[in-house]
Amino acid sequence: MNSTRWFLATSPWLVLITASALAAEPPAKPDLAKGQTIASQVCAACHGADGNSPTPANPVLAGQIAEYLAKQLHNFKAAPGKKAERDNALMAGMAANLSGDDMRNVAAYYSSQTPKGGISRSPELAHFGQKLYRGGNARTGVPACAGCHGPNGAGVPAQYPRLAGQYAEYTEAQLKAYHDNQRANDTNRMMRSIAAKMSPAEMRTVSDYIAGLR
């Protein structure tokens, strides 16, 4: 077998080896500068240039876990011929033209920003919310929020989002959406199963406590 025939015979193996090597390479680090550009052009009007949203209707993104933010953007973007995992007409429009790299970059940028921190609406609400956040409700089977999101609401990277300092109104609205199956992009239905056991009063009090976490 001459060298040319040997190369042709073995080239499929070379392709496989090259493909495996490329697959093993770690993804490139997010580009914060590109993320900032996207944030200023696409996201700032609702979420603020630094992720500190000026209104409770839109969540605070500053300091949020990057993997969580990127996942939400992917969930807002519908694949061709399919319905988006997270239904929101405004966010669907924002995410439609973002590539996977764009999502990673803007998520990393907002994650790198410093949240200003929120405040509880009522000391009384926060008092009862603290009990639920830290201890859950054994009678109804509601687990402690701190078990997944941490005692200070910092979250767990790539698994559970940061809650600390989030607008109480926004957190309460999301709990209601999970409760009513209007939001369904939670892994293994975890948040839907938890919210289904919560009363409106529990959602309100725990959301108020979360807003004051640092």
The CATH number for 179's domain is: 1.10.760.10
- The answer to whether residues 135 and 161 belong to one domain is yes
- The answer to whether residues 128 and 206 belong to one domain is yes
3-state secondary structure of 122: coil
SS percent in the chain: helix, strand, coil, step 5 = 55, 0, 45
**Residue 16 within a domain:** no
**Residue 22 within a domain:** no
Helix (H) or strand (E) holding 93: helix 89-95
**Residue 40 within a domain:** yes
CB 38 within 8 A of CB 106: yes
Q: Is the dihedral of CA 157, 92, 94, 105 positive or negative?
A: positive
What is the full per-residue pLDDT of the chain (214 aa) written as tens digits? 555 554 444 455 444 444 555 455 667 899 999 999 999 999 999 999 999 999 999 999 999 999 999 999 999 999 888 899 999 999 999 999 999 999 999 999 999 999 998 889 889 999 999 999 999 999 999 999 999 999 999 999 989 999 999 999 999 999 999 999 999 999 899 999 999 999 999 999 999 999 999 8
Which residue is listed with tokens 């941490």? 150
**Residue 41 within a domain:** yes
Range of the structural domain that residue 170 is part of: 123-211
- The answer to whether residues 207 and 153 belong to one domain is yes
- The answer to whether residues 76 and 143 belong to one domain is no
Q: How far apart are CA 68 and CA 128, in angstroms?
A: 28
- The answer to whether residues 141 and 206 belong to one domain is yes
- The answer to whether residues 75 and 95 belong to one domain is yes
pTM reported for the whole predicted model: 0.86
Tokens standing for residue 132:
């639920």
Q: Count of CB atoms within 10 A of residue 176's CB?
A: 17
Domain boundary, last residue among 59, 86, 111 = 111
Q: How far apart are CA 143 and CA 149, in angstroms?
A: 11
- The answer to whether residues 128 and 203 belong to one domain is yes
